[in-house]
Amino acid sequence: MSFFGFMKDKTMRTRKKFDHGTKRYSLYKHSVATLGSKNVRDAVKLPEGESLNDWIAVAIVDFYNKVNLLVGAIEGDCTKESCPSMTAGPKFEFFWAEKKKLVRITATEYIQRVLDYVASELDNENTFPPDPSKPFPKNFLEIASNIFKRIFRIFAHIYYSHFQQITDIGAEAHLNTTFKHFIYFVQEFKLIKQADLEPLSELISTF
Protein backbone atom coordinates (compact mmCIF):
# COMPACT_ATOMS: atom_id res chain seq x y z
CA MET A 1 0.00 0.00 0.00
CA SER A 2 1.27 3.51 -0.81
CA PHE A 3 1.79 6.13 1.87
CA PHE A 4 -1.23 8.15 0.77
CA GLY A 5 -3.34 5.02 0.52
CA PHE A 6 -2.29 4.16 4.07
CA MET A 7 -3.22 7.65 5.29
CA LYS A 8 -6.76 7.46 3.88
CA ASP A 9 -7.64 5.18 6.78
CA LYS A 10 -6.24 7.58 9.38
CA THR A 11 -8.15 10.14 11.38
CA MET A 12 -6.48 13.45 10.57
CA ARG A 13 -6.78 16.79 12.26
CA THR A 14 -8.32 19.57 10.19
CA ARG A 15 -6.08 20.69 7.37
CA LYS A 16 -5.63 24.42 6.87
CA LYS A 17 -6.66 25.75 3.48
CA PHE A 18 -6.37 28.92 1.44
CA ASP A 19 -9.49 30.56 0.07
CA HIS A 20 -9.70 30.43 -3.72
CA GLY A 21 -9.09 33.76 -5.38
CA THR A 22 -6.95 35.18 -2.57
CA LYS A 23 -3.35 36.34 -2.83
CA ARG A 24 -2.16 33.54 -0.56
CA TYR A 25 -3.96 30.92 -2.61
CA SER A 26 -2.15 32.25 -5.68
CA LEU A 27 1.17 32.13 -3.84
CA TYR A 28 0.45 28.58 -2.70
CA LYS A 29 -0.27 27.48 -6.28
CA HIS A 30 2.91 29.24 -7.39
CA SER A 31 4.88 27.35 -4.73
CA VAL A 32 3.46 23.99 -5.81
CA ALA A 33 4.17 24.70 -9.47
CA THR A 34 7.74 25.88 -8.93
CA LEU A 35 8.61 22.98 -6.65
CA GLY A 36 7.72 20.63 -9.45
CA SER A 37 9.67 22.44 -12.13
CA LYS A 38 12.70 24.02 -10.46
CA ASN A 39 15.63 23.32 -8.22
CA VAL A 40 14.26 23.46 -4.65
CA ARG A 41 16.76 26.18 -3.73
CA ASP A 42 15.24 28.38 -6.43
CA ALA A 43 11.67 27.38 -5.64
CA VAL A 44 11.79 28.69 -2.07
CA LYS A 45 12.96 32.16 -3.09
CA LEU A 46 10.53 35.03 -2.62
CA PRO A 47 8.65 35.61 -5.89
CA GLU A 48 9.43 38.99 -7.37
CA GLY A 49 7.15 41.74 -6.13
CA GLU A 50 5.52 39.63 -3.40
CA SER A 51 5.34 40.22 0.34
CA LEU A 52 7.81 38.28 2.47
CA ASN A 53 5.28 37.89 5.29
CA ASP A 54 2.67 36.47 2.90
CA TRP A 55 5.21 34.04 1.45
CA ILE A 56 6.21 32.84 4.91
CA ALA A 57 2.55 32.57 5.99
CA VAL A 58 1.83 30.35 2.99
CA ALA A 59 4.82 28.16 3.82
CA ILE A 60 3.71 27.74 7.43
CA VAL A 61 0.29 26.47 6.35
CA ASP A 62 1.86 24.12 3.82
CA PHE A 63 4.38 22.64 6.27
CA TYR A 64 1.75 22.37 8.99
CA ASN A 65 -0.39 20.22 6.69
CA LYS A 66 2.54 18.08 5.54
CA VAL A 67 3.80 17.47 9.08
CA ASN A 68 0.26 16.60 10.14
CA LEU A 69 0.30 13.84 7.55
CA LEU A 70 3.62 12.49 8.82
CA VAL A 71 2.49 12.61 12.44
CA GLY A 72 -0.60 10.64 11.50
CA ALA A 73 1.65 8.00 9.98
CA ILE A 74 3.53 7.39 13.25
CA GLU A 75 0.66 7.72 15.72
CA GLY A 76 0.51 3.99 16.42
CA ASP A 77 4.23 3.81 17.14
CA CYS A 78 4.79 7.07 19.02
CA THR A 79 3.22 6.42 22.42
CA LYS A 80 3.89 7.48 26.01
CA GLU A 81 5.49 4.08 26.57
CA SER A 82 7.75 4.08 23.50
CA CYS A 83 8.59 7.80 23.62
CA PRO A 84 8.36 9.00 27.25
CA SER A 85 10.14 12.24 26.31
CA MET A 86 10.61 14.37 23.22
CA THR A 87 14.02 13.39 21.95
CA ALA A 88 16.11 13.39 18.80
CA GLY A 89 18.55 10.63 19.55
CA PRO A 90 20.54 10.29 22.80
CA LYS A 91 22.07 13.77 22.67
CA PHE A 92 19.00 15.96 22.27
CA GLU A 93 15.89 16.29 24.39
CA PHE A 94 13.27 19.01 23.99
CA PHE A 95 11.35 20.41 26.94
CA TRP A 96 8.08 22.35 26.91
CA ALA A 97 8.04 25.87 28.36
CA GLU A 98 5.24 26.07 30.90
CA LYS A 99 4.75 28.85 33.47
CA LYS A 100 8.33 30.02 32.96
CA LYS A 101 9.62 26.51 33.57
CA LEU A 102 10.87 23.80 31.24
CA VAL A 103 8.99 20.55 31.75
CA ARG A 104 9.55 17.06 30.38
CA ILE A 105 6.50 15.63 28.59
CA THR A 106 6.01 12.63 26.32
CA ALA A 107 6.81 12.99 22.63
CA THR A 108 3.15 12.41 21.79
CA GLU A 109 2.03 15.24 24.05
CA TYR A 110 4.83 17.51 22.84
CA ILE A 111 3.91 17.00 19.20
CA GLN A 112 0.22 17.50 19.99
CA ARG A 113 1.00 20.77 21.74
CA VAL A 114 3.12 21.99 18.83
CA LEU A 115 0.38 21.25 16.32
CA ASP A 116 -2.26 22.85 18.56
CA TYR A 117 -0.05 25.90 18.99
CA VAL A 118 0.50 26.30 15.25
CA ALA A 119 -3.21 25.80 14.54
CA SER A 120 -4.17 28.43 17.11
CA GLU A 121 -1.74 30.92 15.57
CA LEU A 122 -3.06 30.21 12.08
CA ASP A 123 -6.61 30.84 13.35
CA ASN A 124 -5.58 34.05 15.10
CA GLU A 125 -6.52 36.89 12.75
CA ASN A 126 -4.17 39.23 14.58
CA THR A 127 -1.24 36.99 13.70
CA PHE A 128 -2.40 35.81 10.26
CA PRO A 129 -4.76 38.55 9.02
CA PRO A 130 -7.11 37.11 6.37
CA ASP A 131 -7.72 40.57 4.95
CA PRO A 132 -4.72 41.54 2.77
CA SER A 133 -5.31 45.20 3.63
CA LYS A 134 -4.50 44.48 7.28
CA PRO A 135 -0.82 44.33 8.23
CA PHE A 136 0.92 41.42 9.88
CA PRO A 137 2.02 42.09 13.46
CA LYS A 138 5.43 43.71 13.88
CA ASN A 139 6.75 40.56 15.56
CA PHE A 140 5.48 38.23 12.82
CA LEU A 141 8.96 36.99 11.85
CA GLU A 142 9.66 36.16 15.49
CA ILE A 143 6.40 34.19 15.71
CA ALA A 144 7.18 32.45 12.41
CA SER A 145 10.67 31.52 13.61
CA ASN A 146 9.23 29.96 16.75
CA ILE A 147 6.75 27.96 14.67
CA PHE A 148 9.45 26.68 12.31
CA LYS A 149 11.76 25.78 15.21
CA ARG A 150 9.05 23.66 16.81
CA ILE A 151 8.09 21.99 13.56
CA PHE A 152 11.76 21.15 13.05
CA ARG A 153 11.75 19.29 16.37
CA ILE A 154 8.93 17.09 15.08
CA PHE A 155 11.02 16.25 12.01
CA ALA A 156 14.00 15.48 14.26
CA HIS A 157 11.98 13.14 16.45
CA ILE A 158 10.52 11.33 13.44
CA TYR A 159 13.95 10.80 11.88
CA TYR A 160 15.55 9.49 15.05
CA SER A 161 12.69 7.49 16.56
CA HIS A 162 10.31 6.52 13.76
CA PHE A 163 12.21 6.39 10.50
CA GLN A 164 11.76 2.62 10.24
CA GLN A 165 7.99 2.94 10.48
CA ILE A 166 8.03 5.69 7.86
CA THR A 167 10.05 3.41 5.60
CA ASP A 168 7.74 0.45 6.25
CA ILE A 169 4.72 2.34 4.88
CA GLY A 170 6.59 3.72 1.89
CA ALA A 171 6.75 7.30 3.14
CA GLU A 172 10.52 7.72 3.18
CA ALA A 173 10.61 9.73 -0.05
CA HIS A 174 7.76 11.95 1.14
CA LEU A 175 9.52 12.64 4.44
CA ASN A 176 12.87 13.39 2.79
CA THR A 177 11.38 15.64 0.12
CA THR A 178 9.28 17.56 2.64
CA PHE A 179 12.19 18.00 5.04
CA LYS A 180 14.56 19.15 2.29
CA HIS A 181 12.01 21.75 1.18
CA PHE A 182 11.60 22.82 4.82
CA ILE A 183 15.34 23.22 5.38
CA TYR A 184 15.90 25.16 2.19
CA PHE A 185 13.06 27.50 3.14
CA VAL A 186 14.26 28.24 6.68
CA GLN A 187 17.83 28.67 5.46
CA GLU A 188 16.76 31.06 2.71
CA PHE A 189 15.06 33.39 5.19
CA LYS A 190 17.22 32.62 8.26
CA LEU A 191 14.22 31.45 10.28
CA ILE A 192 16.02 28.93 12.49
CA LYS A 193 19.37 29.45 14.19
CA GLN A 194 22.12 27.06 13.16
CA ALA A 195 22.42 25.76 16.73
CA ASP A 196 18.75 24.70 16.69
CA LEU A 197 19.37 22.63 13.54
CA GLU A 198 22.17 20.66 15.20
CA PRO A 199 20.13 17.47 15.87
CA LEU A 200 19.94 16.82 12.11
CA SER A 201 23.08 18.63 11.00
CA GLU A 202 24.63 15.55 9.39
CA LEU A 203 21.52 14.92 7.30
CA ILE A 204 21.23 18.59 6.37
CA SER A 205 24.87 18.62 5.21
CA THR A 206 23.98 16.07 2.51
CA PHE A 207 21.43 18.35 0.83
Does some domain include residue 169?
Answer: yes
Q: For residue 188, is pLDDT > 70?
A: yes
Does some domain include residue 18?
Answer: no
| Distance between CA atoms of residues 60 and 83, nearest Å | 26
pLDDT digits (tens, 9 = 90+) for 132-167: 788 999 999 999 999 999 999 999 999 999 999 999
Does some domain include residue 158?
Answer: yes
The alpha carbon torsion through 39, 42, 47, 53 (nearest 10 deg) reads 110
Domain of 122 in residue numbering reads as: 3-8+52-204
Total number of domains in the chain: 1
Does some domain include residue 166?
Answer: yes
Does some domain include residue 163?
Answer: yes
Does some domain include residue 187?
Answer: yes
22-31, 66-75, 165-174: segment of lowest average pLDDT:
22-31
CATH number of the domain enclosing 190: 1.20.140.30
Q: 46-51 long-range contacts, Cβ below 8 Å, gap at least 24?
A: 46/189
| Distance between CA atoms of residues 29 and 98, nearest Å | 38
Q: For residue 3, is pLDDT > 70?
A: no
| Distance between CA atoms of residues 43 and 188, nearest Å | 10
Taking the model in full, what pTM does it have?
0.86
